[in-house]
Amino acid sequence: MDSPDSIDRRAVAYCSISHQVSHGNVHKKECQRLAQQMKHAHLVSDFPFTFSKEATVQVCDKQETRCSFLIKQGIHRIGMWMFECSCGASTAILCCSRFTKGWNLSSTLCPCREPSTPLPKLLSGWKEYYEWRCIPLHSPVALLLHWPLTLYWAIKLAVQENLIPEISNELRIHYLGPEKELHQLAVFNELHAVFPDVRIHIDLVGPAIPDERNGERIELRDYAHCTETNCKCKCLTENCGPTSLPSGSSATIFKLHAGYYHDCYKDLMEGSPPSLIIAPNAGVAAYRSWLQTIELIKEIKVPAFFSDYCEEACNLATSCISSVTGASPAIPIQLNPFRQPFAVEDSALFLPCYSNCFIFGI
């Protein structure tokens, strides 16, 4: 699919010219929209990291692969990083432990302890976050931290738009459709850093959760660890200073629910209602199972945020959601400042695609 003004700004690949021509009447509107997205593609791939070009442009151009990048970083097929490439994911299904607690990085490269300075009023993006957490811009931790910081950004948007009140001492989240996050849960205790003194309950709901783990409860009591044996992040007592969370408390509590949200909702509501619903990389337009869930969200009137790999996926999602709710998104589609800085390989689109790339709320 070519843009109207430049054959070089292609967004979609066709198998032949004849197929492209025969599909012309169908794709005309989409073509114009995709052409506009292609004009802003460079902004989507704009990150502050020293490794940005390797992890984005060079992966898209097949000069690098996700595997080769992870190998250079020394984190290929290790711990929580296993699901960041296809070969690692296939191995992880067989041998990954149920809960991995470490970064597999030195303490200078990861947030394994409490912040050394108070939280800014609002973290606006990766550069500000790295500076606050005293992490150098060559550290790859953003490749995993996009999960909790996308949730942080959704909560901040909801507060700014008065969809939910200011966070006080407790936060309840319904988190829909987790997959690789199930093996990367330790990174979510960074929520304690950005929401200090807040007790966070997250119900993870989705068909990717194994039936045998249905109802499982997981408590995070400390930050994900570094590799240094003498680092204070290994200490779990109150005498260790500001490294671990207060003894006997949990900053983040997870509960796992196998199945679709609309099927699990009655059991979920036996506790307190959620402050917010979030569905990362939702693919709303790709799965019919979302329709019942969207109808439920409309009925219970809880603010819900959806992210996806590219702007077009969000456009299709909002169209599907509006057909159910009869309303436009309360929070319009926008670039997520905490999207993963690691390009998706072999995408069907020539548009840059990143995990949690764009976000909107209803």
pLDDT single digits (tens) 205-234: 999 999 999 999 999 888 999 999 999 887
Q: Tell me: pLDDT of 21 over 90.
A: no
Residue 92 confidence (pLDDT): 53
Distance separating alpha carbons of residues 65 and 70, to the nearest angstrom: 9
Residue 234 confidence (pLDDT): 78
pLDDT band at 8; cut points 50, 70, 90:
very low
- Give the CA angle between residues 46, 48, 54 to the nearest 5°: 70
Q: Tell me: pLDDT of 137 over 50.
A: yes
Coil, strand, or helix at residue 173?
strand
Output 115-119 pairs: Cβ under 8 A, ≥24 positions apart: 115/193, 119/193, 119/194, 119/196
Q: Tell me: pLDDT of 26 over 60.
A: no
Q: Tell me: pLDDT of 9 over 50.
A: no
Please state the pTM of the whole predicted model.
Answer: 0.87
pLDDT single digits (tens) 311-321: 999 999 999 99
Q: Provide the pairing of β-strand 252-258 with 217-220.
A: antiparallel
Q: Tell me: pLDDT of 76 over 90.
A: yes
Tell me the two tokens of residue 157: 């948007």
pLDDT single digits (tens) 256-306: 999 999 999 988 987 788 999 999 999 999 999 999 999 999 999 999 999
pLDDT single digits (tens) 156-198: 999 999 999 998 889 999 999 999 999 999 999 999 999 998 9
Q: Which amino acid is at 164?
A: I
Task: List CB contacts of 247: < 8 A, sequence separation 6 or more.
Answer: 236, 237, 238
pLDDT band at 40; cut points 50, 70, 90:
confident
- H or E element at residue 320: helix 311-325
pLDDT single digits (tens) 83-108: 999 887 665 554 444 566 799 999 99
Q: Which amino acid is at 313?
A: A
Residue 271 confidence (pLDDT): 73
Q: Is 207 exposed, middle or buried (0-12, 13-18, 19+ CB in 10 A)?
A: middle
Share of the chain above pLDDT 70, in %: 81
Coil, strand, or helix at residue 329?
coil
Tell me the two tokens of residue 264: 């699990």
Spatial strand order of the sheet with 276-279 comes to 217-220, 252-258, 199-206, 170-176, 276-279, 304-308, 358-361, 331-335
Tell me the two tokens of residue 20: 């492209």
Read off the pLDDT of each residue in 339-351 and give the average, rounded to a whole number: 86
Quick one: CA torsion of 129, 130, 131, 137, rounded to 10 degrees? -150
Residue 232 confidence (pLDDT): 87
**Residues for the chain: how many in total?**
362
Read off the pLDDT of each residue in 142-155 and give the average, rounded to a whole number: 98
Residue 254 confidence (pLDDT): 96
